[in-house]
Structure 1
């Protein structure tokens, strides 16, 4: 039978039985709620025994409910359980649309993506992530990660991920493609499709080779992460300066030591020196702005009225610094 018909028939049966039992035995069921309570405990087979019919007519109708009401409600409950199981299956297979906002969209799946998701979830217990990949089932079993199956160049997939209302997007290299040019070309296609569909969004793209960044000149990409060069630089630094790789890893990871954090510029800070001194008193080290890390050479230069600064600090210090932003 049609599910809606079953649901409507159940409502009608419960409503009609409530009124009928009140009419048949007004003394046994002083109010409609008492009658409704007895009907529900009967058709769900709970049977508390606090109310029960005593007349012949009432008992005959109760027998009718035993045969038809319990069966009908049992079918409806089974349909509800089946629907919930089906809903969970659709979510696991990446076929459910994400309706949240201010989330982060990650494209692709690899070990790097897995670590990135763990870092994001650890950094903010309110943040939600939408993962777009071509896997049969979700690789991450947590309520804060919503999986969408498909290709990011497909507009329907972007719509399911609610890309237009996300906070930012990270496009990772497809590691199944061994040719760097082809892998970066796929990332370019994804960035192009996102820019065309969603307009101005903060997009970060991982590329294998720095020379391929020029290919993205017509796409609104905010930041690039050069995968191969970054790993090579870390390896060289580790070889030349013992412990350098550990230092960089600690700065990049939110699970160990202090972290690199972004904070807003306050109006009372007129120069970089003002910000540097204040932050030092709070236990944070100013290392740069969005333009450069060469803060020491421009301490006496004026700060822009609005913008962001990068500092190294622990979680407790960061919470104190961003309280200003929330108050503003």
Structure 2
């Protein structure tokens, strides 16, 4: 019964561990045997084990050599069994390493880190976010989930890739959603806006169901789906279409010649944004009053986050409370 449990435990071990254990037992056995047969040429058991490993791996230093006929027979058996087993072990290690690398590229491996950021969907916004993290030297672990990619893009850097449907519990488990700190859901540019928003909302529901504590940032394209995204569990909803439409409007109807619109976007991309709490001194003031106060410190107030909604350039008489956050453009 004991031997049955021992063999059962042995065969449940990973193949590399089983092979390493087998090689070690084989070399130890031959080392002890050669020490017993020729104690004058192999003074200690360690010398015998050293000879077994050197001979079995076909290195052959020649510092210990059996001289008796029985010792030479033991050496032949060691070369036939140990040499082949060691070669098979090394080939298995190489094959397992290659398969592991291929699985990582295909997105078939499980992420085991904690307090990481999950990006849902590979697109230009996700690529720029990763580039910004790298540029600002943010040492954050990032997991990318995408169903369309066949392997991890080179532009994604060293982030962990999980291929599959982000609404699937199994795929989210591969991304270790239960230990994630943040999740960023970007809208799918390949879909119609309404369909893209529906997918984002379903993904938000799946994320919230698997981790009630993860901070979810969801991009929504249509205003009608804003409330649904909040009900689904999004902590912050980004309405990217509203922001871009405002920029286009100001570009079309600008009164005087200014820098081209494309140049304006490049400048904004290089600027450092920050999200800060509202101090007691600034609380209960209007957006205009706070904006005038921050100008003296060379900070440009471009919006606020009120009740998990990002408001770019709200009405000047909007009252800002300590529960809100300020979206600032820091000086260059």
TM-score by length of 2: 0.75
| Residue-by-residue CA offset, 1:13-69 (whole Å, 9 max, x unaligned) | 111012122223334333333332222222222223333333333222112112221
TM-score by length of 1: 0.76
| CA shift for structure 1 position 229 | 3.0
Paired position in structure 2 for 1:146: 160
- Tell me if 1:193 matches 2:206: yes
The 5 A counterparts of 1:303-322 are 310=328, 312=330
Stretch of structure 1 that moved more, 114-123 or 186-195: 114-123
Is the CA contact 2:229–2:237 (under 8 Å) kept in the aligned structure 1? no
Paired position in structure 2 for 1:271: 281
- Distance of 2:329 and 2:188 partners within structure 1: 32
User: CA distance change for structure 1 residues 101 and 310 in 2, over 3 Å: closer, same or farther?
Assistant: farther
| CA shift for structure 1 position 118 | 1.8
User: CA distance change for structure 1 residues 166 and 5 in 2, over 3 Å: closer, same or farther?
Assistant: closer
- Distance of 1:72 and 1:197 partners within structure 2: 45
Q: Give the unaligned 5+ runs of structure 2.
A: 1-10, 284-289
- Tell me if 1:24 matches 2:37: yes
Paired position in structure 1 for 2:68: 55
- Number of matched residues? 300
- Distance of 2:196 and 2:113 partners within structure 1: 30
- Distance of 1:166 and 1:249 partners within structure 2: 32
- Tell me if 1:94 matches 2:107: yes
- Distance of 1:141 and 1:67 partners within structure 2: 49
- Tell me if 1:157 matches 2:143: no
The 5 A counterparts of 1:280-299 are 285=299, 287=301, 290-291=305-306
| CA shift for structure 1 position 165 | 1.3
The 5 A counterparts of 1:1-328 are 3=15, 6-134=19-147, 135-140=149-154, 144-177=158-191, 179-239=192-252, 240=254, 242-243=258-259, 246-247=263-264, 249-251=266-268, 253=269, 256=270, 258-262=271-275, 271-272=281-282, 285=299, 287=301, 290-291=305-306, 310=328, 312=330
User: CA distance change for structure 1 residues 237 and 25 in 2, over 3 Å: closer, same or farther?
Assistant: farther
User: CA distance change for structure 1 residues 262 and 90 in 2, over 3 Å: closer, same or farther?
Assistant: same
- Distance of 1:97 and 1:284 partners within structure 2: 46
- What is the RMSD of the two structures over their aligned residues, measured on CA atoms? 3.7
- Distance of 2:64 and 2:89 partners within structure 1: 24
